[in-house]
Structure 1
Amino acid sequence: MERVSWRSLMAFLVAVLALHPCFCYAEKAPNYSFVREATTAPRLSNHSYIVIGGGTAGCPLAATLSESANVLVLERGGSPYLRPGRTDKVNYLLELYNTSSDSYAQQFRSEDGVHGHRARVLGGGSVINAGFYSHADPEFVKEARLDEALVKQSYQWVEKKVVFESPVLQWQSAVKDGLLEVGVKPYNKFTYDHIKGTKIGATIFDRNDHRHTAADLLEYANPTNIKVYLHATVHKIITTETTGSRPKATGVIYKDATGLRHEAYLTEEPNSEIIVSSGAIGSPQLLMLSGIGPANQLKANRVKVVLDQPMVGQNMADNAMNGLVVPSPLPVEVSLLPTVGITQSGNYIEACSGLNLPPPPQEQMAKLLPTNLNKVSLHYSVSPCVFSFIMINIGAFINTRLQGGLIIQKDGRPLSTGHIELRNTDPNDNPKVWFNYFKEPQDVKKCVRGMETIISVINSKSFSRFRHPSMTTEQLLDLAAGLQSNARPRHPNTATSLEQFCKDTVLTFWHYHGSCKVGKVVDSDYRIIGVDSLRVIDASTFHVTPGTNPQATVMMLGR
């Protein structure tokens, strides 16, 4: 047999690796010379703009400003490019529930008892979300008084870098057909637009299921005009009094990963500004830590009051999520929310399938599914043959990969709102957050309508091949209730009352908004009312979440 030379072998391996999608992605990942650890930052610096938060809004904002000005970006998290496989589509849940110290998601529990996450990484929420990309509904653009032509141009600027058409395979096709069968019409095919009916949305996952994020938009930046520091936690916005005792933002104090203090100040240029883009939880928290917020709360935490602004942190809202886990007798593809049904009542119906499961849900599945299936056997007279078939197939469902999926619903415009309060003066800690899910009865009624649509889709002929025929609707409701991860009490009639099911099984959709609302905290140009040289640009300024998913609009707004 002819010997293979090392040179030939290496050439073969290089060729194979070059074709491997992970390797290709790593090669394409940007190597930004201007992105560095905050430990390398000077102790004192001056800039035309200081952007606090390199997230979904902060990255496009900083890239745009750097075209003609000196920009500093301070991001409290690390880089998403060091281990890109962590954020691939199949690993969505694994990274979201990663509890290690270098996780891209900081977990918290609201005072309502519902678990949530905050992004802690360059690229922000676009690094840990489900990837759905859809424009704002036209009503949002008009209500926000945005320039429609500029909005369109800004969306297109984003889409050139990070947006792709979603593949629609068997599971998602069945959901799409089920939605149409039960009357969520018309079929609007693939579109960026937010239109009532059933459509296929865009995604930030490419054809190899690799995630692209707002951090990729920094490729637009002028590298000579921008500095991005990672693991840079801002502790305070520095303000001074101007003529008439009106405060003006002049700089920030931040600490690097070792706890070393740094200061950055604005230059004397007339348009110099500090722009807070730390998200709907982080932005009001930082304003309050800097003395801008409700005076009584600031005094209680021994924070010097710069401006008594009682609306900072008020009107905090989240879109409640409820839905059903559907075990499948057939294998399913890995998918994340490409199909959406936008109902006449304002519910958004979406679905995902085939994801890797983190350990806690695996363990819960293993306990709950046999219990539910035994109920099928005992109460619904399933034959031993059928029962065995279901148990064999269900075994795959409780392994690391989910054989089946979730069909979920979101209330597009919830009326229930809450607020944020400081827990302490450490910016690394989560503040206290109340969302007051389902406080308003109209929100409960809308959830019930959404759950009724989900149940109709699952029972539709179009979806029939992806559900076990002997599992009743009540058992699916009971399974979903048993898998709930929140700390709210569960009531005995959860599986028989959709009203109670909504309240007991509510989860976050991670679409936090409203805590620095336009007209209440910021003006129509997103300037803090009552403070000079300070703005907020992120979802905290929204009065509702725009469209099916806000990330496209947050990136557009940054641009």
Structure 2
Amino acid sequence: MSEAVPQSADYVVVGAGSAGCAVAARLSEDPAVRVVLLEAGARDRSPWLHVPIGYAKTMYHPTLSWNLMTEPEPELEGRRIAWPRGRTLGGSSAINGLLYVRGQKEDYDHWRQLGCTGWSFEDVLPYFRRSEDQERGASALHGTGGPLAVSDLRDRNPLALAFIEAAAELGFPRNPDFNGEQQEGAGFYQVTARGGWRCSSATAYLKPARQRPNLTVVTDAHAAGLLMEGRRAAGVRLTRGGAPVTIRAEREVILSAGAIASPHLLLLSGIGPAEHLQAVGVPVVHDLPAVGRNLQDHFQARLAIRVKGPGSLNTRVASLWGKALMGAEFALRRSGPLTVSAGTAGLFARVLPGSASPDVQYHFLPFSTAKTMLELHDFPGMTISACQLRPESRGSVTLAGPDPMQKALIHANYLSAETDRRCMVEGIKLARRLAATRAFAPFVEEEVVPGAAAADDAAILDFIRRTGTTIYHPSGTCRMGGDPASVVDPELRVRGIEGLRVADAAVMPTVVSGNTNAPSIMIGEKCADLVKAAARQRLAA
């Protein structure tokens, strides 16, 4: 893979994240086309990008993460929420918690009902299967031989087993596959890992493609905007080594820079709400009011519980001997705590009376943290995180000004909808019921966070406002739809602009009911097919 910036290519893909790596790798399967993949970050050389637990060190890393922040959140006591996003080959798939969750069948069928023709679950399932190398083997819902390794957890912690038993005690079904016939129930998560090592989109898609002479991957390339010729995206303007560079796209530009950077680049290029662009001094190329709107994210609040017995990783991490044993276990068997994902066991449950499918996702962790992943509590602890799956709150991404090096302004507007507040409160109450089961009785000493002071709904909501945070799934800011007000059409083409598509979580009309990495890769896979189909149509014409 060359690091030089070519003057032109047939396809220029911006962003080597979950979707972008899939788009670039699939397009470059045709040796007759030239593909350039631009990534603002560096190569994925840090060993912490490949060890599963490495997310604890990379999520807030000064160079491997963009370290974005929301603006002060009105419903969260004015707090600004940290939004880590990956800034390296693999993007956020290189620093995420590794969970392989597609969401619910109903999510995609709902997209189709919103006018996204070709995006029902039946339509997208082939792309999930094509991307997947499922450790358990192929089935009607799973694939083998694909780039993305999906495997079972290599560490079955006794506290995680107790969590699954606790859910069963409360009447929830055991679920061995959250991507199977139904999502509801409790079980162990599967992860994007192979042989104990993280499988990011860069590992999955770029490594097998790196010898192709028609694929050029350019790192340390900060996209500054689109090269516009009238209403056509003719290329990309970027900064590299402090110098401005331009690369032309003979056929198409595909933005896969993520739910923050993709709308940011559109806005910088004069594509977005005319009133906002004029207010910040960006010349209007195309008035597209929905760009940067419809921002959604999953919000979480966490119980921290003091436990007894040997299950908590807090105790092991606090000991030099414990750390040495963890390192040895990973080095010798690729197992143990260093393979722990950001959720070992999980539960998908309904907590609101009107919900026909799970509306809360639980991530169980056999450790507990004070602030960031690097700061474990000084007592043996475990975490039960409650995350609302289908928020009604909507936020926005806007420009601070015309300088492409300025970060976008992010207004998440968490908890601005009453349904979201009720769902989170009920989610915490169910988490407490789980911790109070007979299954957990041998392990639980006391709830430390929020503790006994949060005794009623009002106090629980106050706790959520004070401590709740993102679970890292921003989406929706370049909404796909069949209506003229959407940003992209069902073929991911930006409305009113030629030669430009968006392919990442930004196009989701509604956020999926689960983690967003696998769906983003699916979007990349499908985008590549859409681009190839358009090329065939041009040749036929």
TM range (shorter): 0.7 to 0.9
Partner of 1:175: 163
2:224 is aligned with 1:235: yes
Distance in 1, Cα, partners of 2:302 & 2:101:
21
Question: Contact conserved, 1:92 with 1:356, CA < 8 A, in 2?
Answer: no
Partner of 1:91: 54
Partner of 1:556: 522
Q: Secondary structure at the match of 1:133?
A: coil
CA deviation after TM superposition for structure 1 residue 233, in Å: 0.7
Change (3 A) 1:354 1:451: closer
Distance in 2, Cα, partners of 1:511 & 1:118:
10
Distance in 1, Cα, partners of 2:199 & 2:309:
30
Alignment of 1:507-546 (within 5 A): 507-519=469-481, 520-546=486-512
Partner of 2:142: none
Question: Contact conserved, 2:69 with 2:410, CA < 8 A, in 1?
Answer: no
Q: Which shifted more, 407-416 or 159-168?
A: 159-168
Q: Deviations over 1:228-264 (max 9, x none)?
A: 10010111101122xxxxx1111111111x2122111
User: Which of 365, 368, 384 does residue 352 from structure 1 map onto?
Assistant: 365
Change (3 A) 1:114 1:106: closer
Amino acid at match of 2:400: R
Percent identity of paired positions between Structure 1 and Structure 2: 26
Distance in 1, Cα, partners of 2:193 & 2:164:
20
2:35 is aligned with 1:71: yes
Q: Secondary structure at the match of 2:228?
A: strand
Distance in 2, Cα, partners of 1:77 & 1:276:
16
CA deviation after TM superposition for structure 1 residue 503, in Å: 2.2
Question: Contact conserved, 2:111 with 2:510, CA < 8 A, in 1?
Answer: no
CA deviation after TM superposition for structure 1 residue 122, in Å: 1.0
Distance in 2, Cα, partners of 1:94 & 1:358:
13
Partner of 1:20: none
Change (3 A) 1:427 1:361: same
Distance in 2, Cα, partners of 1:290 & 1:496:
45
Q: Secondary structure at the match of 1:497?
A: helix
2:244 is aligned with 1:261: yes
2:175 is aligned with 1:188: yes
Q: Secondary structure at the match of 2:345?
A: strand
Partner of 2:233: 249
TM-score under structure 1 length normalisation:
0.76
Partner of 1:379: none
User: Which structure has the larger Rg over C-alpha atoms?
Assistant: 1
Alignment of 1:129-528 (within 5 A): 129-145=96-112, 146=119, 148=121, 151-160=124-133, 161=147, 162-167=149-154, 168-183=156-171, 185-193=172-180, 195-208=183-196, 210-216=197-203, 217-221=205-209, 223-241=212-230, 247-256=231-240, 258-267=241-250, 272-332=251-311, 334=337, 335-336=340-341, 337-345=343-351, 346-354=359-367, 362=375, 365=377, 395=378, 397=379, 403-468=380-445, 471=446, 473=447, 475-478=448-451, 497-519=459-481, 520-528=486-494
Question: Contact conserved, 1:321 with 1:509, CA < 8 A, in 2?
Answer: yes
**Aligned residues: CA RMSD:** 2.5
Question: Contact conserved, 1:110 with 1:116, CA < 8 A, in 2?
Answer: no
Question: Contact conserved, 2:105 with 2:121, CA < 8 A, in 1?
Answer: no
Amino acid at match of 1:181: E
Structure with greater helix share of residues: 1
TM-score under structure 2 length normalisation:
0.79
CA deviation after TM superposition for structure 1 residue 320, in Å: 0.9
Amino acid at match of 2:166: G
**Unaligned stretches of 5+ in structure 1?**
1-33, 242-246, 366-394, 398-402, 482-491
CA deviation after TM superposition for structure 1 residue 301, in Å: 2.0
CA deviation after TM superposition for structure 1 residue 328, in Å: 2.3
Question: Contact conserved, 1:133 with 1:202, CA < 8 A, in 2?
Answer: yes
Amino acid at match of 2:409: K
Amino acid at match of 1:265: R
Question: Contact conserved, 2:159 with 2:443, CA < 8 A, in 1?
Answer: yes
Question: Contact conserved, 2:178 with 2:184, CA < 8 A, in 1?
Answer: no
Question: Contact conserved, 1:339 with 1:350, CA < 8 A, in 2?
Answer: yes
Distance in 2, Cα, partners of 1:201 & 1:35:
37
Amino acid at match of 1:157: R
Partner of 1:103: 64
**Unaligned stretches of 5+ in structure 2?**
74-79, 113-118, 134-146, 314-336, 352-358, 526-541
Partner of 2:531: none
Distance in 2, Cα, partners of 1:457 & 1:541:
36
CA deviation after TM superposition for structure 1 residue 421, in Å: 1.4
CA deviation after TM superposition for structure 1 residue 178, in Å: 1.2
Amino acid at match of 1:103: L
Q: Deviations over 1:71-94 (max 9, x none)?
A: 1111001122x1223552333222
Question: Contact conserved, 1:321 with 1:507, CA < 8 A, in 2?
Answer: yes
Q: Secondary structure at the match of 2:18?
A: coil
CA deviation after TM superposition for structure 1 residue 329, in Å: 2.1
Amino acid at match of 1:430: K
Distance in 1, Cα, partners of 2:176 & 2:410:
38
Q: Deviations over 1:327-386 (max 9, x none)?
A: 3222335333132211124111111234898889649x4xxxxxxxxxxxxxxxxxxxxx
Distance in 1, Cα, partners of 2:368 & 2:202:
24
Q: Which shifted more, 353-362 or 189-198?
A: 353-362
Question: Contact conserved, 1:494 with 1:504, CA < 8 A, in 2?
Answer: no
Amino acid at match of 2:518: A
Question: Contact conserved, 1:291 with 1:298, CA < 8 A, in 2?
Answer: yes
Q: Secondary structure at the match of 1:254?
A: strand
Q: Secondary structure at the match of 1:263?
A: strand
Distance in 1, Cα, partners of 2:398 & 2:245:
26
